[in-house]
Amino acid sequence: MKTPPQQTFFIAGVPRSGTTLLQLLLDHHSEIAVCPETNIFNVIDRVLANKEIKKDWQYEQLIAVLNQRLKDFDDPAFSVMNAFQAAHSSYSGSTTELLNALRESYLSAKGKKIFGEKTPENIYFLSTIHKVCPQAKIILIVRHPLDVTCSLLKSFQKSSVSRSYSASRLLQKAAIFVKRGLLAIKQLERLFPGKAYIVYYEQLVKNPQKELQQLCQFLQVNYESGMLDFYNRDLIRENTPVLENIHQHLSNPISSNRTQKYLTELRPFERQWVKTFLGKSISNTHYELPSETAKWPMRYHIQLVLARLNFSLKTYYWREVLKKSWNYLRLKANR
């Protein structure tokens, strides 16, 4: 029996907002299977397959990315992908039908009936999700913007790719991620009316039973107290020290000790800088940022100008357009 579209949901949120915690909690329900992050909608958008797959290279890129993303998780998703690829060396047709087939195979492997997928960056591809899976539900987890910025900053600092960046440049990079996510909240309400649910991280870790009961009601399943025992299993098999460190706390019971970390881990002028840059986008949430007066180093004034310029010009969007342009030419070739 095929899973009805309304029994499919996607978890989204700015990276470092608690999406992995939410995934683990829901996946520990006897009826819910939450696939680890695939980044599938980013790839679908990049290979121009929002409606259908027409070329072999589109299918090959989708499969390659899924395999690359899933191989580091101790989850049936990777074996499901291998089996599907072995049975389908090529594919052309509806993108929606392809995802439906993968969803059914995954649910069968997990022995569950409700499918979910968690990729934080889903928040930046809500329009793509709506085109491919218009009946799906969206669960958005939102965390205090300064805590998210702080956590992103720490993860960037541990990454070898970002070690050459200045502290002010990394702060700008983190804040842009956060602002994009905050602005996407309005898009969520427009694209998925009545099918979107917002979880606030602080409320989830403070009163997890109450929040999970409400979330289960949204998903139309009964709450199970065993969901809170998520930490008793090893879902993630990390292959780098950075990732192991980032998710280390998920091996322990749920706790609120990771809230308001920004008060001690961001300097006053950094908190003020982020608040100034985020501006009115904060109004999409119930958070209020602290009012502080602090003298900024000159380089942070320069980074604020650059950050505002980058954001107003949507440089992150045009970078993605450039990546897609070559695929567009390939798609049009030999037609």
CATH number at residue 39: 3.40.50.300
pLDDT score of 334: 54
Name the residue range of residue 264's domain: 5-332
pLDDT score of 277: 93
pLDDT at 289 over 90: no
Four-residue CA torsion sign, 283, 285, 286, 289: negative
| Rg value, the chain, Cα | 20
Rounded to an integer, the average pLDDT of 225-241 is 68
DSSP one-letter string for 252-274: S---STTSSTHHHHS-HHHHHHH
Rounded to an integer, the average pLDDT of 128-140 is 95
Residue 94: strand, helix, or coil: strand
Measured CA to CA in angstroms, residue 73 lies from 51, 210, 289, 298 at distances of 29, 29, 36, 44
pLDDT score of 238: 45
pLDDT score of 332: 67
pLDDT at 242 over 70: no
Four-residue CA torsion sign, 55, 61, 64, 69: negative
Confidence of residue 157 (pLDDT cuts 50, 70, 90): confident
pLDDT score of 122: 95
pLDDT score of 155: 86
Answer for the pair 38, 115: CB distance below 8 angstroms, yes or no. no
Rounded to an integer, the average pLDDT of 64-77 is 87
Rounded to an integer, the average pLDDT of 185-191 is 89
Contacts of residue 185, defined as CB under 8 A and 6 or more positions apart, other chains included, come to 140, 142, 198, 284, 285
Domain tally, the chain? 1
Measured CA to CA in angstroms, residue 23 lies from 5, 28, 29, 38, 206 at distances of 19, 9, 10, 13, 17
Give percent of the chain above pLDDT 90: 57
Most confidently modeled of 144-148, 163-167, 240-244, 253-257? 144-148
Spatial distance between the Cα atoms of 224 and 219, rounded to a whole number of angstroms: 13
Model-wide pTM > 0.85: yes
User: pLDDT tens across 208-223, in order?
Assistant: 999 999 999 999 999 9
Most confidently modeled of 2-11, 45-54, 233-242, 313-322? 45-54
